[in-house]
Amino acid sequence: MRRIAFYVSIVIIVVIFNSCRKPLDIKTTTSNSNILVVEGLINIGADSTKIKLSRTVIIGNKTTANPEGNAIVTIENAQATVATLKEITKGTYASPGLNLDKTKQYRVRIKTSTNKTYLSDLTEAKVTPPIDSVGYTINNSGMLIYANTHDATNNSRYYLYTFTEAWKFHSDYFSGYITNGTALIGRTPGQIVYYCFSSDASTTIVLNSTAALAQDIAYQAPITSIDFSSEKLQMRYSIMVTQTALTKEAYAFWDNLKKNTENLGSIFDAQPSEISGNIHNTADASEPVIGYISAATTQSKRIFIDNTGLPSKFVAKSPFTCMIDTAKIKDGGVQNNLIPIYTTLYTLAPFGLSSIEGYTYSNKSCSDCTIRGTLKQPSFWKN
């Protein structure tokens, strides 16, 4: 699930700037602060359940993360408590796979450290069908990643997608040498900073509905797009798509949230509206609570895409302006610029005809991939 509080902040800002066209004297208030935000899914299958609790903060506040710790979070059906989640980090409560009865309804009960109790509505447990395939198409701007799925029972109809990405890339230049403070020496294999891995997770709300179709078949449901020049496709790219079946009510919540955060910008777009979830303060129904708790199994599928199999127009564009310069030994360029232990310049390679006359070099951002990635290969990576 995504950072719901982030989306709600966007809604507040958009409402302010779209409500009228004349100049406004905007004053920060505390009316939208300290609202409980509940994120997560009751996973009724073998995967873990994770619920995140936080509080909203005043717009412009230097503190943007406000997790709600020391709460008691339990999972219930209509008859009894079925699980108590453990706080694994402040504000994050989790449990290993619960493997719950899929014929029952479930809800979350939250008791905060201030003895306030919040309860989500009982919700139907949805069994998510497997993802048939994840693939891609090439379009005018780059690549569109999509997912295919179907439910022969026609019981799913509403889908929420999340994804995580990982990719292998390289720095602009290969640095073959490193300084030890007195001389330039060849880098060992463990000191090579040319190839790296990076990752990212979905930050947009990705939905799909087959409610208007005769059969519950989702064909090439769009997941995300990647530009021709993206570094993600420089060498090898991987995406894992996770699919969750939703109730009609849960879909309406996420669709409303999406419209209020991602589709605003002109008078022709949907106008901001109230975002109502299914979580309530048991003692004060008027208290706003942000979030929607669903109960479902999830299905995931990962694919790998190699640059070698893509059209030639997929050429990664460096995020930096990179240049190579030279330092000569005889005029002190190497000794003064490349050998000092605290130099920020990276030595690339020697040059010279009969002997080494100097070295080429560039700056760190162009020669060290670890400033935006990691050398450690992900455990799931395929060579």
Round to the nearest angstrom and report the end-to-end CA distance of the chain: 30
DSSP letter assigned to residue 130:
P
Tally of CB atoms within 10 A around 217: 14
d(CA 383, CA 197): 13
Contacts for 115 with CB less than 8 Å, ≥ 6 apart: none
* Token couple for 273: 């509206």
Residue 378 phi, psi dihedral angles, 5° rounding: -60, 150
d(CA 378, CA 339): 34
Residues 357 and 328 sit within 8 Å (Cβ to Cβ):
yes
Residue 364 phi, psi dihedral angles, 5° rounding: -60, -45
Residues 166 and 198 sit within 8 Å (Cβ to Cβ):
yes
CA atoms within 13 A on the CB side of 195: 8
Tally of CB atoms within 10 A around 29: 9
d(CA 221, CA 157): 13
Task: Give me the pLDDT at residue 224, please.
Answer: 98
Task: Give me the pLDDT at residue 10, please.
Answer: 42
Among 114, 125, 117, residue whose Cα is nearest residue 294:
125
Among 3, 299, 264, 290, residue whose Cα is nearest residue 159:
299
d(CA 304, CA 309): 11
Max intra-chain CA distance, the chain: 86
Indicate the SS3 state at residue 162. Answer: strand
Measured between alpha carbons, how far is residue 130 from residues 148, 243, 245, 299 in Å? 9, 8, 10, 6
Q: What angle do CA 318, 323, 326 make, to 5 degrees?
A: 150
As separate numbers, helices (DSSP H) first and strands (DSSP E) second, the chain gives 4, 25
CA 361 to chain centre: 35
Sole residue written with tokens 């990962």: 302
Measured between alpha carbons, how far is residue 290 from residues 53, 72, 221 in Å? 10, 18, 28
Among 382, 350, 379, 347, residue whose Cα is nearest residue 193:
347
d(CA 123, CA 278): 9
Tally of CB atoms within 10 A around 201: 10
Mean pLDDT by 10 residues, the chain (383 residues): 51 38 44 85 97 86 83 97 98 98 98 98 98 97 98 97 98 98 96 98 97 98 98 98 98 93 56 75 95 98 97 95 97 96 96 96 97 97 84
